[in-house]
Structure 1
């Protein structure tokens, strides 16, 4: 049976499963899954997609990368980057200091890592970063199960584009309802600042069969579309890629967001984050 340990004011809990993994829950919603004995084992489908995009769009591993993560939770992806690209300098922007304290105490980071967690919200933290300072920016921040409005606004997207190196990659984990209206508006907003974009999600999400997560891949430079297609076809779950005209059809008629942004739709339940 899963075992739980409670965090700050019981808002945060760690659920340990029979496979040795730990799922971090915040306010009842699963935020991360951590496998301490194997950080390369990624349980959530969208985290697999984020990792896939990093590997395809970056110099081959084990070349280190300067990575900024907006949103920390269990620090799953920073652990994966450290395991696959040792010594990578990483900044994690996570405003919930209580969450970070619990995670670092109960799920310690590996020795000699270069992961630095800053107790800052995404907008404040990204604004403080230097221009061209990140090879990868991962946007995976949720509050009460939704992406905060300010992290979807045009001003924030332009800050991410400023921080990104000319050859770098920005990633967004976006949760949306069937119809993907929020995703379409985010894509329209992102490609104003980062013109080369692609979308990765499971087929059932792309076909509008359920609420779920999509990963936006964006860059100043053309993306390696052929390699993305090949690696997406090899994904653990049936997964699709939207680029070019397919992506244009999804975005058609979608109005870019203004600086104030828009929060993502609330999740109907926790089944949008699947452990596989």
Structure 2
């Protein structure tokens, strides 16, 4: 199936293992296992799943906000592992959401509510202290939107998170010294609090372009090192403040351009 949407030409294709991949203009966005939504195929999504599993017991309902929707892989994961969870997805491309719902239907009473609004606008409409986990996983043309990584945006995230709430942000970088990730880490640290950085060692050493997960909370986080060691491929977990160092936080007033993933990079 394929359909022209606001994000581009969207298609859903069946894989040999029974999963389905959503692509937009040929770029993989999400992979969904309708038979087992707890199966997360993309490596970065499995890391986010590790974070959710570490902070909330399975079967325990939680309140989750997702900035970015695509094929709703992570909302499906939470819905099946923690039934009765309340989930809000901020996804501005309503045509894409309609296409995904048709091609990859959500189960009845999933608790997943998709709002056709940008992350920046949608976050301002949420109640204070209403969210256990806020997941940022939004891209435009293979880059994180600049207005979703500033001090002003993360201040709104801090407002809607409960005292024990956790921010999880999926970013990409591969530039020497990881300037974008370091500045975003400094921004998150200042707006929300300490946490961890999850990524393959080669990425953290600046020897490759790929996904970096930032985790932050005002409440102490559980240890994520063991989960990283067990993962395939394994990933490192380092303190957020170590990566931030003396980097300058990002703001709306200071223009910058988040890095764009090369065409050869598969965001998995």
What TM-score results when the alignment is normalised by the length of structure 1? 0.91
Aligned to 1:259: 252
Counterpart contact for 1:152–1:263, Cα < 8 Å: no
Residue 134 (str. 1) matches residue 128 (str. 2): no
Aligned to 1:37: 35
Residue 69 (str. 1) matches residue 66 (str. 2): yes
**In the TM superposition, what is the alpha-carbon distance from 1:170 to its structure 2 partner?**
0.7
**In the TM superposition, what is the alpha-carbon distance from 1:191 to its structure 2 partner?**
0.6
**In the TM superposition, what is the alpha-carbon distance from 1:104 to its structure 2 partner?**
0.2
Quote the Cα distance in structure 2 between the aligned partners of 1:156 and 1:79.
25
Unaligned runs of 5+ in 2: none
Q: 1:85 to 1:262 in 2, by over 3 A?
A: farther
Deviations 1:97-135 (A, max 9, x none): 011000000100012211000000001100000000110
**In the TM superposition, what is the alpha-carbon distance from 1:173 to its structure 2 partner?**
0.2
Deviations 1:33-52 (A, max 9, x none): 11111111111111001110
Counterpart contact for 1:21–1:33, Cα < 8 Å: yes
Deviations 1:233-254 (A, max 9, x none): 11121211111xxx44432231
Residue 235 (str. 1) matches residue 222 (str. 2): no
**In the TM superposition, what is the alpha-carbon distance from 1:166 to its structure 2 partner?**
0.3
Unaligned runs of 5+ in 1: none
Query: Aligned-residue CA RMSD in angstroms?
Result: 1.5
Counterpart contact for 2:186–2:241, Cα < 8 Å: no
Quote the Cα distance in structure 2 between the aligned partners of 1:248 and 1:167.
19
Quote the Cα distance in structure 1 between the aligned partners of 2:266 and 2:63.
30
Counterpart contact for 2:197–2:212, Cα < 8 Å: yes
Counterpart contact for 1:54–1:169, Cα < 8 Å: no
Quote the Cα distance in structure 1 between the aligned partners of 2:144 and 2:204.
19
Q: 1:67 to 1:270 in 2, by over 3 A?
A: farther
Quote the Cα distance in structure 2 between the aligned partners of 1:148 and 1:44.
21
**In the TM superposition, what is the alpha-carbon distance from 1:56 to its structure 2 partner?**
0.8
Aligned to 1:56: 54
Aligned to 1:110: 107
What TM-score results when the alignment is normalised by the length of structure 2? 0.94
Deviations 1:168-188 (A, max 9, x none): 111000011143211100000
SS at match of 2:39: coil
Deviations 1:31-90 (A, max 9, x none): 1111111111111111001110111123x1110000000000000000000110011010
SS at match of 2:197: strand
Q: 1:270 to 1:95 in 2, by over 3 A?
A: farther
Q: 1:73 to 1:270 in 2, by over 3 A?
A: farther
Residue 86 (structure 2) aligned to one of 63, 67, 89:
89
Residue 273 (str. 1) matches residue 262 (str. 2): no
Aligned to 1:202: 200
Q: 1:121 to 1:8 in 2, by over 3 A?
A: same
SS at match of 1:170: strand
Query: Which runs of structure 2 are paired with 1:14-25 in the superposition (5 Å)?
Result: 14-25=12-23
SS at match of 2:155: helix
Counterpart contact for 2:150–2:251, Cα < 8 Å: yes
